[in-house]
Structure 1
Amino acid sequence: MTNDANQPGRLPLFLTDADVEALADLPSAIDAIRAAYSTPIDEARNPGRIFADSRREWMRVMPSVPASGRLFGAKSINGSFADGLRVSYLISLFDKETADLVALVDGNRVTGLRTAATTAVGTATIAPDRPLVVGVVGSGFEAQSHTTALSLVTTFAEVRVFSPTPANRDAFSARFSAELGVPVGAVESAEAAVRGADLVLCAARSRDETPTISSEWVGDDATVVSIGSTTPGQRELPAELFARASLVVADGLDEVVHGSGDLLAARAAGVDVDAITVPLNDVLLGARAVDRGQGIRIYKSTGAGLQDIVVAEALVDRARERGIGTQLPVGIVTTRK
């Protein structure tokens, strides 16, 4: 504690979930993610996740000091099993020059926005530059947001979607037929969606945590996007597919290799995952060349605080420009040590 304390020069902004919904813009988020990952890896800036867990309440904190942008901060994911499972998300942003609190952002929708934006950036580095047949496994929020994001960085020739619920896959087909202007068909199995696809989007968790697709369905030169196995206990892709893969691009190398159930299972099955997995940063910086036309190429995501912070900063900038959000009546003091 010190008496040498300064009030913030500008009171912080609070963005609600509704504010984030109104401000969400995939192109801006994609630009922010691309800039953030177009810098060398620095683990001191992005130390990974911190967990606190009482078995009744838990908190996951994802801090980041991005090399890009003007702000730094952390996202906290806060859960309680007191009444079922209830979860809230909060992003706090601070000024790099003054350490002043700049904004508090409801992170509920930011998670989906930054995940789709990062997937778009990662997929653009490994997908062929030609019209693609796309197979989508899943029809929910993640499948929809990722389909939209991928359409901004690749060219679709046709889309096939599978979801266990016919009404959901039909609704997906109707929506994206209108939005994308290409044939979008609802199919009756994951195999029908995946076989012959140039780009496979896996965006559906299995209830028993078994892989949602089989290796034999995937073509020899296909691009596969996997976003649904983010913890050691979750599965989405089979080990046999990683054994066939020429390259795995990871949004966070350590957490993908050591924290994703898919990669843990592949390693246990004898796959040399370290030899084929590279960080997205290296691909964007040109340190790792990618043949976008040959071999199975996989984009694998577990999420990172870096993504939340840079996308939240872009949201705050848009909020200031458009007069959206609530300026808090007070802030926190910044002290000189």
Structure 2
Amino acid sequence: MSTLFLSEADVEWLLDMPSAIEGVEAAFRAWADGKADNQPRRRVTAPGAMLHSMSAASEYLGFMGLKVYSTTREAARFHVWLYDITSGALVAIIEANRLGQMRTGAATGVATRMMARPDAAIVGCFGTGFQARTQLQAVCAVRKIERVEVYGRNEERRLEFAAEMTELCDVPVKAMHHPDAVAAEKDIVITATTSKIPLFDGRVLDEGTHLNVVGSNWLTKAEIDVATVCRADHIVCDSIEACQLEAGDFVAALDAGSLEWDRVCNLADVLTGEETGRATPDDITLFKSVGLALEDVAVAVRVYHRALAESAGQKLPF
């Protein structure tokens, strides 16, 4: 069997958000059942460059994979290498920038479905980039959203994002000038930025708010403050192991003694009912995602299967 190469353009039309959410949820359930394995991200550095790698295997899917990406001053380049578990054959090499955006959104979709109030309808979104777009798409896929407010540092990009997402999600999206206003009086708050410091004062959050905190996977960056962490009644991670290595959002609270890791649980365990993501309508709930290879592999398998069905991609000579 030849190795299939799938480009960013291929991924764009082969993958949609409902399929990504379904695939990621199934992967987390399999992980909880001991039928999948995930290794956190590792990084190596060179002057002006960094190589990031992460891997996962899924018995129930029959595939294992490696996500690797390079970051330099000029660009970031992402690929997933997908292997058949039985034969060990490299079945696909997939360009994975868009795939990564979709799987990150999909994990938020799964968490929001399990943790946000069923009647959640008002969203505050921090960030105006590609990750914020897929975050909002995922939330709109699992809740009947009526209104969105967005904040980003650049006013022009705020306005562009609001116009684009109003059309894409068929929900009114309003650009806001003050970050605390975006966090206050919301049912769901999304943070998907590159900020190194907290975006808003956690004291403004309403009871019952659900937060999806996804922008930082560095211990030196935090999108939320200690007040937000302290007010959260339930804190759920995509992976506690990965968050212990990368979740800068928790560092200040841990250092202050305001948070212990035994307060935190894995999303996989919420899905199986072993842990609780929300107990009452007034609970403040927090999902922290740093991004997992298991999510990449789950979504890559979906893309691969559809590519075969659609005769998409390019066969490589090996």
Category of TM-score, reference length = shorter chain: over 0.9
Unaligned runs of 5+ residues in structure 1 are 1-9, 332-337
Unaligned runs of 5+ residues in structure 2 are none
2:217 to 218, 230, 241: 230
Preserved CA contact (<8 Å) 1:257 1:273:
no
Give the aligned partner of residue 7 of structure 1: none
Give the aligned partner of residue 319 of structure 1: 307
1:250 matched to 2:241? The reply is: no
Report how far residue 164 of structure 1 moved: 2.3
Once residues 44 and 38 of structure 1 are traced to their aligned partners in structure 2, the CA distance between those partners, rounded to angstroms, is 9
Once residues 293 and 190 of structure 1 are traced to their aligned partners in structure 2, the CA distance between those partners, rounded to angstroms, is 24
Q: Deviations over 1:107-161 (max 9, x none)?
A: 2211111111111111111001114211111222111111111100111122111
Q: Give the 3 Å change call, closer, same or farther, for CA 79–138 of structure 1 in structure 2.
A: closer
Q: How does 1:93-112 map to 2 (within 5 A)?
A: 93-112=82-101
Q: How does 1:132-151 map to 2 (within 5 A)?
A: 132-151=121-140
2:212 counterpart SS class: strand
Report how far residue 104 of structure 1 moved: 0.7
Give the aligned partner of residue 279 of structure 1: 266
Once residues 53 and 186 of structure 1 are traced to their aligned partners in structure 2, the CA distance between those partners, rounded to angstroms, is 38
Report how far residue 302 of structure 1 moved: 0.3
2:51 to 33, 56, 59: 59
2:42 to 39, 50, 56: 50
2:286 counterpart SS class: strand
1:210 to 189, 192, 197: 197
1:39 matched to 2:30? The reply is: yes
Once residues 292 and 93 of structure 1 are traced to their aligned partners in structure 2, the CA distance between those partners, rounded to angstroms, is 41
Report how far residue 79 of structure 1 moved: 3.6
Q: CA RMSD in A?
A: 1.9
**TM-score, scaled to structure 1:** 0.88
Give the aligned partner of residue 169 of structure 1: 158
Give the aligned partner of residue 22 of structure 1: 13
Aligned letter for 1:302? V
2:53 counterpart SS class: strand
Number of corresponding residues: 316
2:67 counterpart SS class: strand
1:264 matched to 2:256? The reply is: no
Preserved CA contact (<8 Å) 1:36 1:306:
yes
Preserved CA contact (<8 Å) 1:127 1:292:
no
Q: Give the 3 Å change call, closer, same or farther, for CA 292–59 of structure 1 in structure 2.
A: farther
Q: How does 1:157-196 map to 2 (within 5 A)?
A: 157-196=146-185
Once residues 69 and 180 of structure 1 are traced to their aligned partners in structure 2, the CA distance between those partners, rounded to angstroms, is 31
Q: Give the 3 Å change call, closer, same or farther, for CA 14–292 of structure 1 in structure 2.
A: farther
Preserved CA contact (<8 Å) 2:118 2:143:
yes
Preserved CA contact (<8 Å) 2:35 2:60:
no
Report how far residue 262 of structure 1 moved: 0.9
Identity level (%): 28
Preserved CA contact (<8 Å) 2:30 2:36:
no
Preserved CA contact (<8 Å) 2:202 2:228:
yes
1:178 counterpart SS class: helix
Once residues 131 and 157 of structure 1 are traced to their aligned partners in structure 2, the CA distance between those partners, rounded to angstroms, is 9
Report how far residue 192 of structure 1 moved: 1.6
Report how far residue 39 of structure 1 moved: 2.6
1:91 to 80, 83, 87: 80
Which of 1 and 2 has greater Rg?
1
Once residues 254 and 192 of structure 2 are traced to their aligned partners in structure 1, the CA distance between those partners, rounded to angstroms, is 22
Q: In proportion to residue count, which structure has more helix?
A: 2
Aligned letter for 1:127? A
Preserved CA contact (<8 Å) 2:10 2:313:
yes
Once residues 211 and 114 of structure 1 are traced to their aligned partners in structure 2, the CA distance between those partners, rounded to angstroms, is 24
1:239 matched to 2:231? The reply is: no
1:13 matched to 2:4? The reply is: yes
Aligned letter for 1:232? L
